[in-house]
Structure formats: C-alpha cells, structure tokens
Amino acid sequence: MSEQKGLSERKKLILKAVVEEHIRAGEPVGSKYITESRQLSCSSATIRNEMAELEALGYLEQPHTSAGRVPSKQGYRFYVDALLEEYTATTREIAQIDQLMKIKMAELDQILDKASRVASSLTNYTAFAIKPRASSVTVSKYETAMIDAHSFVLIAVASNGTVKTRNLVTESEIDEAVLSHLTEALNRLVVGVDAEQISLSVMMELENQMAGDSALVNAVMKGIYALLGDLNGGELKVSGLDRLLQYPEFTDATSLGELLSALERKDDILDIVDGAEGDGVSVVIGQESAVRVINNSTFVFKPIRAGGKTVGAIGVIGPVRMDYARVLATLDNLGGNIAHLLKEPAKGGEGADND
C-alpha cells in the first residue's frame, strides 16, 4: 500500500497509458508510443526512466523478446483500484441492457441466464450466470402436474423464488385425485425443511396418507432429495464459451483444457463467489485466486441481492488484459436492472427448470 501511495502523478499516467494500450493492442508498450501519443509532455528518456522504476516496483514487466513493457498483475490491480475511469455506455449497449427490463418471467434462473448472454455480447468475453450455494434454501410450496397414468411432474417452489422440477415415474397407476392428495400431504408435512430434517416419522406419515403406497412415496422422496440438492448445490451456466478462443492468452491447448475443466466442475468458481464480500463488482486478477487454472485470467462478477440475501451473480472471465472499464460498467448496470426486476411482482409461470 505504501508503494501505491508513493507513485507520482507522472508514474500513474504512464502506468495508465501502458495498461490501456496493452489492453487495446495486446503488444508490449514502449516509451516511444507514450511520447508520440502526447499523453505526457516530457522526454522519451524521462519516460524510459519512469517505466524502469515502475518495473522495479513490480507494476510493469519486460518480456525478454521486446524492449517494450507490459503490465504485471500488480499493475492491473492498481489500475482497477486507482486509475480506472468511468465507462460511458454506447446507445447500443444501453438499449441491450434496458431490453432486460422488459422480461416478464417468474424465474430467477431465466433472468440470470439472459443477463449473462447480454454480458457476453457486450463485453466479448465468456460470461456466467451463477446461483451460489445456499444451505438455508428450503421449499415453500410443492405442486404436481400429471403426465400419464404412470408419471407426473413434481414442482418445488423454493424460499428464494427458484422453481425446480422432476419428472417421476410410478409403479402403480395414478390419477388427478391421487396427485391432489399427494400435493396436499407434501405441503403439510415437508414444506420449509431441509433434507436432514425429513425424519423417518415424516416419511411414515406421508406413506400413511398415501394409503400405504410405499413405492410412490419412495419415488417422491428421492425426487425431493434431488430437488433440495439442486437448490442448495449452486449452479453455473456459461455463455459465449467460444469467445475464449479469440484471445492469444488461451491458445495453449493445455491451459485452455484446464480452464474448461474448472468451468465444468463449477465448484472452483462457486468458491470464489461464496467468498466475496459486499455487493459491488468483484475483480479477481490472476494469482489473487486460489484456483490455479485461473492464474492467467481475470474473473469479474456482480452479486445479485434480493430480500437482503445474495440470490445469484453474473460474471465474465477473460484474459488479464481485459477491458476493465467496459466490463465493470456492464456488470454493474445489468446487476442494477436485475435487482429492479426482482422487486417487481412475478408475472407468468413459464420456464421452470426441467431436470
């Protein structure tokens, strides 16, 4: 921190110029560029000396094949924390973000998924819709819908507004009267509890209510346990995965494969989101993450809160050489729109997840 406070205004301007040119062009930046761009009214020799001092302080690095310099991860961090200027969204970007406000959906999952696709489109990076782990999520209401005489849909409305469904198959024949009775029993016996609180006595009472049909109750209980696991296990959906291939940082097959594996496992990303503090946009640069495969990447995300709780997040991942101003502004604007949507009464009932 003392080193950051000790940077002169000239060093800050040089570091800012190097970061922004490297983000734009992806090449090492030399003193000649800064002199010719007229961002500073001083000699090339002075700029070279300042860049050498910035390198000694750890803010710049010099690739062995070039006389120019690139920002270090420490340099990017200082840029994000202290030098980043407010990004002004274009008319097109504002229109795409405002379009999200017109969504009339009851599903938080759908809203987050739509927002992640907008984020990927506007930033040109891979984006995420994230449902963080939440061990306190329970089911506030159960519903059923008949498919045929041996199958039906079990619908769980969670305490955080999420809706999950399971298609269940029964050995015995069922009809609308059986499903109505089952729905009533579930809402009386197993609403508002987590999986560990569903006791043997509760299951026995449910079986008694269903006239001793143990096969039906077993199928339903397996479905309920699966639904509760889905609700509390966290989710991660990816948009624009192919955009990673546009950046030379991800052309190495091994590094890209490891990153894709981490995204598929999802737990590493969920760990980062779970550990976030505050409601603002979080920026995790390279080795600031405990996840090794993200060391050469930047992960940026915005928590979404409703009713005083974090109910989701949207984020992007890309190279450390990221357009931070655009990304932070986009996620912040999208997050604000989602928070507004969640305050409105839900309209319609389509779009439940089908697992």
**Residue 22 or 292, more confident:** 22
Report field, pTM of the whole predicted structure over 0.85 = no
The reported pLDDT for the residue numbered 159 is: 78
Domain boundary, last residue among 196, 211, 233: 233
Question: Which residue, 260, 278, 252, 273, is CA-closest to 315?
Answer: 273
The reported pLDDT for the residue numbered 136 is: 64
Considering the domain architecture, whether residues 243 and 338 belong to the same structural domain is answered as yes
* 355 occurs within a structural domain: no
Interior/surface letters 242-272, b for 16+ CB within 10 angstroms, e for the rest: ebbeebebbeeeeeeeebeebbeebebbbeb
Question: 116 pLDDT exceeds 80?
Answer: yes
Domain boundary, last residue among 233, 261, 289: 233
Question: 278 pLDDT exceeds 50?
Answer: yes
Length of the chain, in residues:
355
* 243 occurs within a structural domain: yes
Domain boundary, last residue among 83, 102, 124: 83
Q: 58 in the Ramachandran plot: left (φ > 0), alpha (ψ -120 to 50) or beta?
A: left
Q: Is 242 helix (H, G, I), strand (E, B) or coil?
A: helix
Question: What percent of the chain has a predicted confidence (pLDDT) above 70?
Answer: 89
Q: Which two tokens stand for residue 68?
A: 């120019």
The reported pLDDT for the residue numbered 344 is: 57
Total count of domains within the chain? 3
Other beta carbons within 10 angstroms of residue 15's beta carbon come to 25
Considering the domain architecture, whether residues 191 and 251 belong to the same structural domain is answered as no
The reported pLDDT for the residue numbered 164 is: 85
- In single-letter form, the type of residue at position 260 comes to L
Highest mean pLDDT among 2-11, 73-82, 84-93: 73-82
Considering the domain architecture, whether residues 150 and 197 belong to the same structural domain is answered as yes
Question: 106 pLDDT exceeds 60?
Answer: no
The CATH number of residue 30's host domain is 1.10.10.10
The reported pLDDT for the residue numbered 266 is: 77
Separation between Cα atoms, residue 118 and residue 89, nearest integer Å: 14
Angle at 111 between CA 91 and CA 97, to 5 degrees: 5
Question: 105 pLDDT exceeds 60?
Answer: no
Domain that holds residue 282: 91-132+234-348
The reported pLDDT for the residue numbered 46 is: 92
pLDDT in tens, 246-272: 888 888 887 788 778 778 777 778 888
3 state SS for 218-264: HHHHHHHHHHHHHHHHCEEEEECHHHHHHCHHHCCHHHHHHHHHHHH
The reported pLDDT for the residue numbered 352 is: 39
Q: Is 302 helix (H, G, I), strand (E, B) or coil?
A: strand
The CATH number of residue 305's host domain is 3.30.450.40
The reported pLDDT for the residue numbered 63 is: 85
Name residue, tokens 């950051």: 4
Considering the domain architecture, whether residues 164 and 217 belong to the same structural domain is answered as yes
pLDDT in tens, 31-81: 888 888 876 788 889 999 999 999 999 999 998 766 789 999 999 999 999
Considering the domain architecture, whether residues 301 and 253 belong to the same structural domain is answered as yes
Question: 2 pLDDT exceeds 50?
Answer: no
Q: To 10 degrees, the CA torsion angle through 217, 354, 265, 286?
A: -140
Contacts of 36 (CB under 8 A, 6+ apart): none
Question: 348 pLDDT exceeds 60?
Answer: no
Separation between Cα atoms, residue 12 and residue 16, nearest integer Å: 6
**Residue 61 or 197, more confident:** 61
Considering the domain architecture, whether residues 115 and 253 belong to the same structural domain is answered as yes
Question: 8 pLDDT exceeds 90?
Answer: yes
Per-chain mean pLDDT for the chain = 84
Whether the Cβ atoms of residue 26 and residue 59 lie closer than 8 Å to each other: no
Compute and round to an integer the Cα radius of gyration of the chain.
Answer: 26
